[in-house]
Structure 1
Amino acid sequence: MSELQHVKLHAGLYFLAALLLVGQANWFYLVGDYDRILLPALLAPLLITAALMRLGQPETARLSAYLVLVCGYLLVAIELPGESSLAPFWLGLPPVLTLLLLPLGPAMLLNLTLTPIWLLLGESLLDRDLALGYLSLVMVAGLAPWEILHQRALLKATDPLDEECDAIRRSALHDRLQSECERAELLDQRLAVLVIHLPQLEMASEQFGAGARRALLTSLCDTVLRCSRDHDLLGREGEADFWLVLPDTSENGALLVRQRLKESLQSTVLLDTGRVDSRLYDCHLGKGESPQRFLQRLQITTQRHAES
């Protein structure tokens, strides 16, 4: 699920919660329980505000989550002491709601801190088993987001692709380059690497934001895909530096790829940054050169041209 879909889902849930509170207030009015109308009537506009904040700037996302959390806490604080039949529901709502709205660390700390408050509010309704069940819920409910974070970290560590674009990450690039060097030596083939530097990348991020940065990276990857062969490999060496590994490619072949890629990038015009500016340099594996020496030479070349 994309980030935009997450935002819309959260905002939709906040709107739904506001509608439920409006329905609860109307129900209290219909049954004549007028003393309980005020709280849901006041919380519903707050939840609508939180939903609108969630749809706004990314900086307001955390504030909207805290606003929803405060609304939930107020509702539980009012309903828990007076609802004997629904005591398990109201008691279990705060820790689950906290884990859904906040990161794991702050959520667990807040749940443990507020445990005495919820147990005191429901003291007249709780028995020993229910209190132990609440404490177990606080601890066990944290295992699900912890496992999700663990799986994300594992996927990030094993995924060869870069986080921002379709190039492979630096560690995977070095491993593949060493394999290609060994393969070229074993089969007596030539190996070329095209060093690509994007001088506009830092400027695009600082002046136009993350959207322009992603557009620039996407343009580079798409252009490389069009101008290279299926078995060529694009990897990200640095923030704005890329290596295009060209197996079994002569010097003339590398020059042709370099020229074709440079012309394609120059003809690409983006909304924020304009024409894509790039610096391209080709390096070739020397006869009998070790993979470590070739890698070192590539890194020196990349750094020298990035600083020029």
Structure 2
Amino acid sequence: MICSQPRRFVALLYAATSLLLLLLAANHYMAGFYQAILLPAVLAPIFLGLALLRWHLDSAYSHDPAAIVALICMGLLIVLQPSTDAIPWRFVPMFFFPLLACLLLPKLGATLLSVSLGIAVLAVHPEELKQGEFLLLMLQYGLGLIIAITFASLPALQLRQLASLSDRDNTTDCYNDRHLKARLKAEIARSRATRRPLGLLLIELHQYESLRHDFGLSSSEQLMRDIVIVLRRNSRAGDELYRFDDQTLLLLLPNTTLNGALVLRERLHRLIQMESECELGPIDMSVTPLTLQPGEQIGGLWQRLRHSCYHTLSERLDQPTDTPTRHDFSPN
């Protein structure tokens, strides 16, 4: 979508469309084009009903659930409305239809609906292909579609650019790996200076890819958010949570030995199993404790973190490394 529209803005848009349809029906009546009155007169109360519904009801969906009805009604008007002058009037709003579709629907749905409208017009009115005005307006329609798709893509591109500059993961609001590298450098320096231990916990969700494949990305990300809530609520003051990669979280534990990380690991795993639910059944996860080794620098620690994740094992089958013992929590 071009943006996430407030419901009352969309309601006013539907109400304005209803008013325009009424004015169009009245104009056709005054001009004597009686055959062109029916569709605007029928669709005007439909748009008014959509406006009232949208004004009073909120929606949990990311897009307006009435948008499909509204756009189909507008498409029917464009395709079926009889011509009343030399240049068929219905083709004029076709230039604005793709932009309106991208305003109300996700980009893919808006594109499919706009292309379907163009095909329907060609199928219903093949005799008008010979008219130069028609061809010109169809070119305008194609231009409007290109503009709408480009316009709809801008927010996603801007969000990706902002995400690349941000220190936080968009889904979980955890710090991301960009911030983690900088933080690890500071923590390693602090650990060296104070001679205090530095512990870490890698929490890897093995069902992430299965959830994504079977139930969609929203399900896998929702489970990750649920786990993050449990970790934040039950971690100690001073611990920091990071999104290490798509299916792995990292809990940074300053001043924590391996034994302390093991104790915390047992506690957090039990709480995650109790307080989180997975659509595939019991949560299948591994929690791997690590500590900073004497003389270890950021490069070595980062490589050891990458090699401690199960899902990266296939990438290093021919690269044997000295990795810590993994602690796998698989359902019985």
**Bin of the TM-score, shorter chain as denominator length:** 0.5 to 0.7
Question: Where in structure 2 are there 5+ consecutive unaligned residues?
Answer: 54-58, 116-128, 137-143, 314-325
SS for the counterpart of 2:294 is coil
- Matching residue within 157, 166, 189 for 2:164: 157
Secondary structure of the residue aligned to 1:193 is strand
Distance (Å, rounded) in 2 between the aligned partners of 1:94 and 1:285: 64
TM-score, normalised by the number of residues in structure 2: 0.61
Describe the shift of the 1:205–1:65 C-alpha distance in structure 2 as closer, same or farther (beyond 3 A).
Answer: farther
Point out where structure 1 has 5 or more consecutive residues left out of the alignment.
Answer: 111-116, 124-136
2:269, 2:287 → 1: CA distance? 7
Equivalent in the alignment of 1:120? 133
Residues 158-180 of structure 1, C-alpha deviations (whole Å, 9 max, x = no match): 12222332323333333333332
Identity of aligned residues (%): 25
Give the structure 1 partner of residue 320 of structure 2: none
Structure 1 residue 17: Cα displacement: 6.2
Of 96-105 and 139-148, deviating more is: 139-148
| 1:23 shift after superposition | 2.7
How far off its partner does 1:148 sit? 3.9
Q: Tell which deviates more after alignment, 287-296 or 70-79.
A: 70-79
CA distance in 1, matches of 2:189, 2:266: 27
Residue equivalent to 1:291: 298
What one-letter code is carried by the residue in structure 2 that aligns with 1:98? P
Query: Could you say which residue in structure 1 is the equivalent of 2:186?
Result: 179
Measure, in 2, the Cα distance between the counterparts of 1:179 and 1:204.
Answer: 36
For residues 47-83 of structure 1, give each alpha carbon's deviation from its aligned partner in whole angstroms, at most 9, with x where no partner exists: 79x999x99999x999778746745755999578679
User: What letter matches 1:302 in structure 2?
Assistant: C
Pairwise CA distance, 1:223:
0.9
Secondary structure class of the residue paired with 2:245: coil
The answer for the alignment partner of 1:245 in structure 2 is 252
Q: What is aligned with 2:200?
A: 193
Deviation at 1:300, TM superposition (A): 0.9
> Structure 1 pair 143/279, CA: closer, same or farther in 2 (3 Å)?
closer
**Superimposed CA distance per residue, residues 273-295 of structure 1 (whole angstroms, 9 cap, x where no aligned partner):** 45434321100001111111111
Which deviates the most, 32-41 or 97-106?
Answer: 97-106
Helix, strand or coil at the partner of 1:194: strand
Counterpart code for 1:223 = V
> Are the counterparts in 1 of residues 205 and 248 from structure 2 also a CA contact under 8 Å?
yes
The structural deviation recorded for 1:36 is 2.8
The residue aligned with 2:269 is: 262
Q: Are residues 148 and 291 of structure 1, via their aligned partners in 2, closer, same or farther at CA, if it must alter by over 3 Å?
A: same
The equivalent residue for 1:36 is 36
Q: Please say which of residues 13-22 and 173-182 is displaced more in the overlay.
A: 13-22
Instruction: Give the stretch that moved more between structures: 24-33 or 257-266.
Output: 24-33
Aligned mate of 1:231, from 238, 243, 247 = 238
Q: Which moved more, 1:150-159 or 1:5-14?
A: 5-14
Amino acid in the other structure paired with 1:243 = L
RMSD, matched Cα: 5.4
1:23 aligns with 2:22: yes
Looking at structure 2, the residues matched to 161 and 72 of structure 1 have their Cα atoms a distance apart, in angstroms, of 47
Which residue number corresponds to residue 218 of structure 1? Answer: 225
Cα distance, 1:227 vs structure 2: 1.8
The runs of 4+ residues in structure 1 deviating greater than 6 Å are: 45-48, 54-58, 60-66, 104-107, 137-144
1:98 aligns to what? 98
SS of the residue corresponding to residue 270 of structure 1 reads coil
CA distance in 2 between partners of 1:26 and 1:218 (Å): 52
**CA apart distance, 1:184:** 2.4
1:175 and 1:65 map into 2 onto residues whose CA distance is 50
The CA distance in 1 between the partners of 2:265 and 2:38, in whole Å, is 70
Q: Given residue 99 of structure 2, which amino acid in structure 1 is its aligned partner?
A: L
SS in 2 for 1:267: helix
